[in-house]
């Protein structure tokens, strides 16, 4: 990947990718070098995204043939989960063996491993709009950096632009349920498993306490109305319960929690969506890194093979195992949000 100046963006590319997070990097690391590609991301790089960095089994499997750099891991010990249901006063443990990563380091590693010279990358550059040319053969892209605008043309547009995706909104303006995830890292060691906490007085989703090296993270996904007040209540409860002192730096981001399987969108025509932009995140536990990695890779493979075929159909076929896995999580999501039904899950 070659970082270029905004003024050096060419007039045309085969592909434009919006967003260089987990989905974008996975796409870029798997796309054929024959394509000329422009990737833009509105953040400065190396980027920071508020995220706990837990890599579940599907994400671990994604990296089964490569060795992640040591700097990626917050803790090399496999991470297991204790479920704490405060509504029903229940606790249970699950030997998950997840990876416990520093999300910023994972993102940087994914970004820096790319050595495809046919990819131009521009940071702090935002997609503003896009539209088809007459006959729908090409897409016109409008992007912006520091108040300057640039227009270019491409054949395919790949939206890897996360929960608040502009690419998705232009394709399909149906709203998808979202939460605000707020978290904080405290300078205190936590010698325990990670906790996923259910407390309907704060949220119908869940909160977490996760060991992070010699630190500990408290976080909660709360509905948007009075989000910070709800988080503060949760934070004080957790500090008291786990004897965590002081305060940390608050970070937050939007989190999609699709209500139904049909909220997931893979794209339309020559516009494709990967990761959270396509609402590919588990509605039961907000695990989005693995879906972003897998969908980015499948989308790139579909385009690599799509000569004279519909890339979205191919993408759908490649994504089938992930889509089936996501489909199964909708029922679980309903159960965990209902304190009565949840009782059966953890007793
Ligand atoms: C607090 C929190 C904790 C989480 N913890 C976990 C966890 O432990 N495990 C897990 O699996 N998932 C977790 N998630 C979910 C996970 O972070 C996301 O699902 C995942 O990052 C999605 O990856 P993505 O590449 O699709 O999008 P993102 O990582 O959000 O990347 C999107 C990129 O697009 C760029 N962008 C957006 N709009 C534009 C635009 N118009 N123009 C240019 N660039 C644009 C952004 O700058 C960003 O870099 C968590 C989420 C939150 C908020």
Determine the distance separating the centroid of ligand 1 and the alpha carbon of 90, expressed in angstroms: 32
CA quadruple 170, 15, 107, 123: dihedral sign: negative
- Taking the centre of ligand 1 as the mean of its atom positions, its distance from the CA of residue 23, in whole angstroms, is 8
Q: How much distance in Å is there from the Cα of 315 to the middle of ligand 1? A: 21
For 137-195, what is each residue's pLDDT tens digit?
A: 999 999 999 999 999 999 999 999 999 999 999 999 889 999 999 999 999 999 999 99
51 C-alpha to ligand 1 centroid (Å):
8
Please report, to the nearest 10 degrees, the dihedral formed by the alpha carbons of residues 109, 81, 295, 111 taken in order. Answer: -10
Query: Given ligand 1 and candidates 52, 61, 126, 176, which is best to mutate, with the most ligand atoms within 8 Å of its CB?
Result: 52
Q: Are 93 and 13 in contact (CB under 8 A)?
A: no
Ligand 1 pocket residues where CB is under 6 Å: 18-24, 40-43, 47, 49-54, 126-127, 160-162, 166, 181, 183, 219, 253, 255, 275-277, 281, 286-290, 292
Q: Which atom of ligand 1 is nearest to the CA of 54?
A: 8
Q: Out of 87-101, 180-194, 305-319, 324-338, which region has the weakest mean confidence (pLDDT)?
A: 305-319
Place of tokens 């509905």: 223
Query: Over the stretch 73-119, which tens digit does the pLDDT of each residue have?
Result: 999 899 999 999 999 999 999 999 999 999 999 999 999 999 999 99
| The two structure tokens encoding residue 186 | 């405290």
Ligand 1: centre distance to CA 240 (Å): 30
Distance (angstroms) between ligand 1 centre and the Cα of 164 equals 9
Task: Give the closest residue (by CA) to ligand 1 atom 36.
Answer: 161
Please give the model's pTM, rounded to 2 decimal places.
Answer: 0.97
Task: Report pLDDT for 345.
Answer: 81
Taking the C-alpha atoms of residue 280 and residue 290, their distance in angstroms, rounded to an integer, is 9
Give the separation between CA 337 and CA 342, rounded to whole angstroms.
7
């Amino acid at each position: 990947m070659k970082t270029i100046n905004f003024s050096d963006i060419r007039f045309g590319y085969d592909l434009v990718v919006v967003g260089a997070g987990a989905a974008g990097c996975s796409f870029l690391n798997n796309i054929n070098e024959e394509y000329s590609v422009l990737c833009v991301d509105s953040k400065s790089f190396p980027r920071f995204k508020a995220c706990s960095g837990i890599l579940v089994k599907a994400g671990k499997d994604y990296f089964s043939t490569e060795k992640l750099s040591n700097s990626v891991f917050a803790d090399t010990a496999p991470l297991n989960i204790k479920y704490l249901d405060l509504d029903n006063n229940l606790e249970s443990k699950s030997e998950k063996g997840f990876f416990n990563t520093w999300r910023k380091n994972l993102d940087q590693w994914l970004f820096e491993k790319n050595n495809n010279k046919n990819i131009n990358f521009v940071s702090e550059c935002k997609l503003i709009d896009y539209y088809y040319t007459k006959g729908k053969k090409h897409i016109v892209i409008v992007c912006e950096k520091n108040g300057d605008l640039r227009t270019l043309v491409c054949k395919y547009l790949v939206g890897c632009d996360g929960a608040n995706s502009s690419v998705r909104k232009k394709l399909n303006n149906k709203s998808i349920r979202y939460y605000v995830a707020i978290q904080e890292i405290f300078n205190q060691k936590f010698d325990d498993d990670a906790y996923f906490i259910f407390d309907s007085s704060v949220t119908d989703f869940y909160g977490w306490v996760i060991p992070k090296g010699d630190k500990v993270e408290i976080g909660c996904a709360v509905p948007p109305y009075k989000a910070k007040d709800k988080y503060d209540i949760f934070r004080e409860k957790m500090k008291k319960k786990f004897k965590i002192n002081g305060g940390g730096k608050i970070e937050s981001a939007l989190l999609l929690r699709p209500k139904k399987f049909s909220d997931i969108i893979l794209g339309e025509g020559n516009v494709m969506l990967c990761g959270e932009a396509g609402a590919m995140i588990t509605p039961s536990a907000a695990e989005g890194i693995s879906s972003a990695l897998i969908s980015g890779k499948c989308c790139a493979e579909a385009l690599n093979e799509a000569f004279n075929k519909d890339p979205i159909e191919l993408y759908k076929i490649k994504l089938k195992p992930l889509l089936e896995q996501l489909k199964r999580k909708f029922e679980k999501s309903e159960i965990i949000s209902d304190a009565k039904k949840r009782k059966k899950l953890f007793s």
